[in-house]
Copies of this chain bind each other. A is one copy, B any other.
Amino acid sequence: MATISDVAKRAGLSRTTVSRVINQHPYVSEDKKKLVEQAMLELKYVPNSNAQKLRKQSTETIAVYVPRLTNPFFSQLVETMEEVAVEEGFQLLLCQTRYNKQQELNYMQILKGKQIDGLILTSMENPWSEIEPYLLYGPIVLCNDYDYSARVPIAHLDQVMGGYIGTKHLIDRGHEVIVYCSSEPGISRVSKDRQEGYIKAMQQANLKIRPEWMFSDQFTVEGGKRLFYRIHHQKDRPTAIFTGSDEVAAGLIHEARKNGYRVPEDLAVIGFDDQPIAELMGLTTVKQPIDRLGKTAMELMIQQIKSKKMGDARRVELPFELIIRETT
């Protein structure tokens, strides 16, 4: 494999000059530049990026932590992030925490080892205080999940509002017994706040809230199905359900219909996210602008890397949109 020295030798110049051509420094004469380019072409030379990273102390690589990719919310988030990153000349290292505290912390070594220029967290399995120390080693941006005590850029939605909007819609439709199902396992602020929004809306309407109406352990299509049977067998059956994702809603509706329920007459269901499946099923849902969320987070990251300033804790809050279809 050709090195920069080989190129220099071939062009009859020094390594310095070759490096200047590669990095488009000024002060290289046109004719020498041509010579170098010719030599690089002949030798099929490509700079060794590990050497570059070591010397430049920058890697043009950003890591994204997601719980798991089969959750469409996160795969769409990552898709957008990769697109923005590449446009700006960065690459994406993908890390799945699998909702696991330890896994998340293990991955932190990547930041410590200078392997990446920055880190985007889309969910946090550990409290911010566990993560904060790593800020020493490089910039961190929060996306989706958040913690207001964190002094880092954040792109997110006000999930209290999200929970409120959805619940309020069900209340407006005349429902009084409403079940809430959270979106994620773990200590995520997203779940906590969204549930707070649910509670707020219920209280405002003077409706009862009961622990057995709040679920926090079902997150997939399968989970939605299980959720249905839990409800189905309850004494005080709810008339409406606020689910943490469109997938849970879809699974739930599927199973409900199979058991002779009419939706929304016997059971109203509202989803969350507005994934393709929502339109397909005619699902009323609280839409999250996932693309804008991912784009914003990545841009905040890149700005921070390029400006080399840490500590500009800009917070960008994006809006929800209630999409009313046929399940409420």
Contacts and interface: CB of A to CB of B under 8 A. Distances in A.
A114 interface: yes
B50 A114 contact: yes
A303 interface: no
B59 A70 contact: no
B68 A79 contact: yes
A93 interface: yes
Contact of A82 (B46, B54, B69, B110): B69
A38 interface: no
Contacts of A75: 69-70, 72, 75
Interface stretch (A152-160, A182-190, A235-243, A276-284): A276-284
Interface residues of A, number: 47
Interface string A224-250: 000000000000000000000001001
B59 A69 contact: no
Nearest to A74: B75
A78 interface: yes
Contacts of A115: 49-50
Contacts of A324: none
A313 interface: no
Interface in A268-289: 276-277, 279-280
Given A46-B113, A54-B48, A280-B250, A94 B96 contact: no
Interface in A68-93: 68-70, 72, 75-76, 78-79, 82-83, 86, 91-93
Given A48-B114, A70-B76, A254-B280, A82 B59 contact: no
A94 B72 contact: no
Most chain B CB within 10 A, of A46, A93, A221, A251, is at: A46
* Chain A interface main SS type: helix
A326 B95 CA distance: 38
A112 interface: yes
Contacts of A251: 280
Given A50-B53, A72-B72, A280-B254, A96 B114 contact: no
Contacts of A86: 96
A54 B50 contact: yes
A47 interface: yes
Closest 7 CB pairs of A and B: A49-B113, A75-B75, A69-B79, A46-B112, A50-B53, A50-B54, A94-B94
26 contacts: A46-B109, A48-B113, A48-B114, A49-B114, A50-B59, A50-B114, A54-B54, A68-B79, A69-B75, A69-B76, A69-B78, A69-B82, A70-B72, A72-B72, A78-B94, A79-B96, A82-B94, A82-B96, A83-B96, A91-B95, A91-B110, A93-B93, A94-B94, A221-B277, A250-B280, A277-B280
Given A91-B95, A94-B94, A247-B276, 18 more contacts: A49-B113, A54-B54, A61-B93, A68-B79, A69-B76, A82-B94, A83-B98, A86-B96, A91-B110, A92-B95, A93-B94, A220-B276, A221-B277, A222-B276, A250-B277, A251-B280, A254-B280, A277-B280
